[in-house]
Amino acid sequence: MSTPEGWPLLVPVLALAIPAALTLAAVASPRRAGLASALALGGALLVAAGAAVARGVPAATGSNLGVRIDAVTCVVLLLVTALGAVVARYSRTYLDGDPELARYQRWLLLTLSAVTALVVANHLLVLALLWTATSLALHQLLTYYSDRPAALVAAHKKFLVSRLADLCLLGCLTLVHRDVGSLDLDTIAGWASSHPELTPSMHAAALLVVAAVALKSAQLPFHGWLTQVMEAPTPVSALLHAGVVNIGGFVLIRLAPWMDRAELAQLFLVALGLASTLVASFVMTTRVSVKVALAWSTCAQMGFMLVECGLGLWHLALLHLVAHSLYKAHAFLAAGSVVDEWRVRALSKRPAAPTWARLGIALFVAAASAILGVVALGRVVALSPAEQRAVSLLAALVSLSLVPLLAGTTTGPTSMARAALRAGGVVLLYAGWHAAAAHWMPLEVGAPNAAGCVLAGLGFAGLFATKTALQRFPDGRLARALQPWLFAGLYLDERFTRFTFRVWPPRLGRRRESPRPLHLQETLEART
């Protein structure tokens, strides 16, 4: 069946209409945020359907309009609009009766419009400007309660970190334009593919991109603002953790043809992401507040996403981005039920620490399941040697993460067989999703960086060994020595906060006077 003439052109035009409609709704009638976000979701569905119908037609990419419509765009556009619709509907109930609801809805729609325009942009300068616009609009949401000093301090630190990231992006744009002669993403990808070796300035530009992504993705030691923005409304936290903070991973995926050839930048990604993942994973276990623990979890997840990008696992990074966004949105919007579940676990009897024999059996079961899962996947899906190495490393990491769970169930032959089947199914499903995403999002992926693979393997092996020791000896010498440092987050944010206060102290302003509460008798008289 032939594609109707002119139909491919409607796809990018409709994609551009989504952020424009959200912006107009924010200016004209911000109280209709729910309707505007629902219409944006419908538009995203039409874009995805149109891109599927016009697949293979060059005009469907919309490169002449500065718009990129491909599998990545459709997936992330649907994700952003769906989360925006949910957050907008939740916000109306959460802030019902608030006198400044209209201002909140206006900045919410402007944030969503900037993110959706960023997703479809096919120009590096436009992408950088929209990333900055998203940060500035989100700043207004983070300071929604202007009478709370903690919220203002956290937003102030985020503002400074984001502006530093913008400076890195500005330097990157200058270097790329000097070497490539254009900032169009397709042109940059073609230039990188035609040059086996990058120039020193392009390597430097790639490092600046990594620095900007690390700054805006709350990687250590610039993570403090992410764990301290809990004074903002809960839907803002959901939007931040489920959508805005993931933009760094999306930008790296967009620049994958270029970043895949920048070995130093990839190694830098692995090192930064691994450090954040390890530290945040341990610090998260010391937190009592559910929302703060979720914030540290986001820091760790973003670090793991940077590790995936540094290893060249771009398909897995996209899959991780979608899964993390959906999980974090649900976790924040359902924080009340999470508190109830945590109370049940806290009141339950703590299980006994697993013995070394059970840990050894669990490790053997997980490793065997990982090997069988990779072999079974190789029989079903044809994988290149580079993909086989990447999937094997992934399976090893997944198997290590399953050992603490398997250690509590491997008590006999029957339970061991059941655990082996479950672990093998998890590994096979994980690797299978990766292979499906790689098939659906065709992208030339080189062999993983050997140094990055070794560094990631050693890092996660150390994480596994340390967590196993803490689980085996929860009151041992190692646990007592690490507890104060982990509870304080290694004192990284304190040092960064002092530095920012010296460079640019925040303006806390005056505390806004709240309306005088009515007594019960006054309330009854007012109603009658």
Long-range contacts (CB closer than 8 Å, 24 or more residues apart) made by 27-34 = 27/106, 30/102, 30/103, 30/105, 30/106, 30/109, 31/101, 31/102, 31/105, 33/88, 33/91, 33/92, 33/105, 33/108, 33/109, 34/85, 34/88, 34/89, 34/92
CB 270 within 8 Å of CB 455: yes
For 196, counting Cβ atoms within 10 Å of its Cβ (0-12 exposed, 13-18 middle, 19+ buried), the class is: exposed
List, for residues 115-132, the tens digit of each pLDDT value: 888 988 888 898 999 999
Give pTM, 2 decimals. 0.80
Average pLDDT over residues 395-424: 63
**Range in 184-193, 313-322, 403-412, 448-457 with the lowest mean pLDDT:** 403-412
Q: For the chain, what percent of residues have pLDDT higher than 70?
A: 67
pLDDT value of residue 170? 92
For residue range 58-69, list pLDDT tens digits in order.
Answer: 545 555 667 888
Is residue 229 very low, low, confident or very high in pLDDT (cuts 50, 70, 90)? confident
- Tell me which of 289 and 266 has the higher pLDDT: 266
Mean pLDDT of the chain: 75
For the ranges 5-9, 274-278, 497-501, the lowest mean pLDDT is seen at 5-9
Instruction: State the average pLDDT over residues 496-510.
Output: 72
Instruction: Give the range among 4-8, 215-219, 318-322, 355-359 with minimum mean pLDDT.
Output: 4-8
